[in-house]
Amino acid sequence: MKLSRLTFKYPDLFLLLMADIKQICAEILEEAKKNNIQSKYELNQIKLRILNKSKPNGKLKRIPKNADIYFAASEEDRKKFRNLLSLKPVRTISGVAPIALMSEPYPCPHTMKGIGPCTYCPGGPGSVFGDVPQSYTGKEPSTRRAIRNNYDPYLIVFNRLEHYVAMGKIPDKAEIIIQGGTFTFFPKAYQEYFVKYALKAMNDFSKMFFDNKGNLNILKFKKFFELPRILSEEDNRTKRVQQKLLHIKNLDLNDLEVRGKVNEMFFSDFDGIIFKLGNALGRIGNNQKNEINVSIQNTSLNLIENKIENPNILAIKKIQQKLNAENNPDISLKQTQKENETSFIRCVGLTIETKSDFGKLFHGNLMLELGCTRVEIGIQSIYDNVLSATNRGNTVADNIESIRILKDLGFKINCHYMPGLPKTTKDMDLHGLRQLFENPDYKPDMLKIYPCMVMEGTKLYEDWKAGKFIPLNTKEAAEIIAESKRFFPEFARITRIQRDIPTYMTAGGVDRTNLRQYIKKLCAEKEIKCRCIRCREAGLNFIHNREINLENLRIKIIEYEASHGKEFFIAAEDKEADVLFGYCRLRFPSQSLRQEITKDSALIRELHVYSAAVQIGKKSEESFQHRGIGKNLLMKAEEIAKQNGKDKMVVISGIGAREYFRKFGYELEGAYMAKKLS
């Protein structure tokens, strides 16, 4: 009989296995204290020694993860070894905890029009990689997480929050990043469903594991997620946690009676978690739709049974079935958003990916309703002939129009650019990257640079096999990007260089995953100093042990024309150290596209303090957050607006940041936080 069946039939065995891993973790901790270890290398050496000693007894087959040790430790030991057991600080060093959510496999809009997909674009329904999101292979970390959780936003967010807490982080300021193709092409009902349950997961996680003062109930957390893990039981542990979450996904945890039953079910006794899952709650509410027999593994419909051969039509039908089966209409998006404003874990930013022909005014208004604050647009090239040759489905004019509309609605803009596309040369790519920041029709706030790679199943792959296309190699791509860093401005952030696709999934192109580090070395050799936001932000400089003094903080203002409007990049920086503490993006829009934005309104498109994330309402010696930097930037923005004859400030605020702006006299008006300037 398999171990998984034994542990269900004999819960004492399950508890015995848990005792084994606790003992191993306790031995690791004891050795760590005895040797007063200071590095992760020393910790790993102790792990290996303990593991080798345990092998004869058959206790463990794999090395315990840091999270296992963290939750086996006492409160005193957790504090002592927090840095060694913690997740890499770079994940939250920019001030927020990012949560990447992958939407369902769904056709891209220009494929349905018979134009595309883009010649370089992998994935999608029915691809050589299976039914995966458009533009992905199924092997990226966020895609694998989504597949493991059946593309359910509620499960994915819980899973990600579990990871953050398990590694010693408190993700109370979270940023949702929705990936997976052209999200604004999905049915409106699906868009609302997806965001609604992502926010509900944050709200429910807060209620279940944190008290009113933001203190984590670590015993409840460990019990619900069955920590420390039994390494050989990890797959079954995941399924059991998913079953619990599916059972509460459509429950109203604001109802004290319901919450009491949930607590009784999951936290009263260990056996109840395993054996009483299907019976304890019954059907609470008229629209309870998530029965325990929902299959986590059902990632595709049966083609023969449905008699549908077109994978795109099948994907559309699957979305409709998912909405019918899993969406509870009694839970509204508006109410979930309202609750998240004061939830312990809050969504302070929401990013949506789209194409420029699906990033116009209609789509912008829909994204505002969802609570979106940043839009990622794949412009890919500034050349029309390149866009046409690659079946992009939109023009340069579409890119320019979309960027202007979305800026005038208040969104932050993160453009994607792809060097090495067909019909381009090195000089064209250098010119294109430079034009992004010299041509006022572009001037994005952020940029992702994705050197073109050849992927199986694409038209470009066929051209490559036939010798009609030669992709950029690693050295060529690095040289182009390194040279372009000479003219990246201070107001832009280069957020990513290279797709998050494993190189073993590519047929041609860049062949290393650490391209950014390679470029950094090349820049050092050529004495190229990049002054983009990412290279200067305080958090990253702090963890690299650079001397930073908050007393040297000064306000610097950069004015520039962009998309027919006027921009003010208001920076709080240490000029001597060339370090950026935070900034505010103030815009005088070129047009009034909504009633909240009058002709005399100014827009705040972003207010950000860069440093290690600190829990709301608290301070830390290792962070520059909650030191009044944001307030000073906001006051300076209001001052500039009044000096220029503006009588109203309109802020595109993350749902979870609305309370912050209320402290300064702002009130919710439509999709924005707004304030009259006296």
Give how many domains the chain has, as a whole number.
4
Query: Would you state the pLDDT for residue 484?
Result: 96
- Domain check: are 190 and 299 in the same one? yes
User: E strands along 577-671, which residues?
Assistant: 579-588, 601-609, 648-651, 667-669
- Domain check: are 29 and 145 in the same one? no
Query: Would you state the pLDDT for residue 152?
Result: 98
| Cβ atoms 464, 471 nearer than 8 A | yes
d(CA 381, CA 352): 20
d(CA 488, CA 493): 9
d(CA 301, CA 307): 10
| Cβ atoms 524, 481 nearer than 8 A | no
Q: Is residue 347 part of a domain?
A: no
- Domain check: are 284 and 402 in the same one? no
Beta bridge partners of 554: 573
d(CA 611, CA 90): 10
pLDDT (tens digit, 9 = 90+) per residue, 568-595?
A: 999 999 888 888 999 999 999 999 999 9
Could you tell me the residue range of the domain that residue 312 belongs to? 89-334
Q: Is residue 346 part of a domain?
A: no
- Domain check: are 61 and 93 in the same one? no
State both tokens at 76: 């005193």
Where is the domain boundary, 84, 118, 147? Answer: 84
Q: How far does CA 524 lie from the centroid of its chain?
A: 30
- Domain check: are 586 and 515 in the same one? no
Helices 188-209 and 361-370: angle between axes, nearest 10 degrees: 20
Query: Would you state the pLDDT for residue 615?
Result: 54
Query: Would you state the pLDDT for residue 95?
Result: 66
* 455 φ/ψ sector (left φ>0, alpha ψ -120 to 50, else beta): beta
Q: Is residue 345 part of a domain?
A: no
Q: Is residue 136 part of a domain?
A: yes
Beta bridge partners of 566: 561, 588
Residue 64 vs residues 10, 35, 44, 86, 479: alpha-carbon distances, Å: 24, 19, 10, 14, 41
- Domain check: are 178 and 298 in the same one? yes
Count the alpha carbons within 13 Å of 45 in the hemisphere toward its beta carbon. Answer: 9
- Domain check: are 500 and 606 in the same one? no
Q: Which residues contact 586 (CB under 8 A, 6 or more apart)?
A: 567, 568, 570, 602, 603, 604, 605, 637, 640, 641
Q: Is residue 349 part of a domain?
A: no
Query: Would you state the pLDDT for residue 172?
Result: 92
Q: Is residue 344 part of a domain?
A: no
- Domain check: are 19 and 78 in the same one? yes
Question: Which letter does DSSP use for residue 216 in this model?
Answer: B
Q: Is residue 545 part of a domain?
A: yes
- Domain check: are 180 and 296 in the same one? yes
Predicted structure pTM score: 0.85
- Domain check: are 220 and 185 in the same one? yes
- Domain check: are 372 and 488 in the same one? yes
Where is the domain boundary, 487, 503, 536? Answer: 536
CATH number at residue 567: 3.40.630.30
Instruction: Enumerate residue ranges in the chain where pLDDT < 70.
Output: 1-21, 54-63, 71, 86-95, 231, 269-308, 539-549, 611-627
Q: Is residue 128 part of a domain?
A: yes
- Domain check: are 149 and 285 in the same one? yes
Where is the domain boundary, 84, 103, 121? Answer: 84
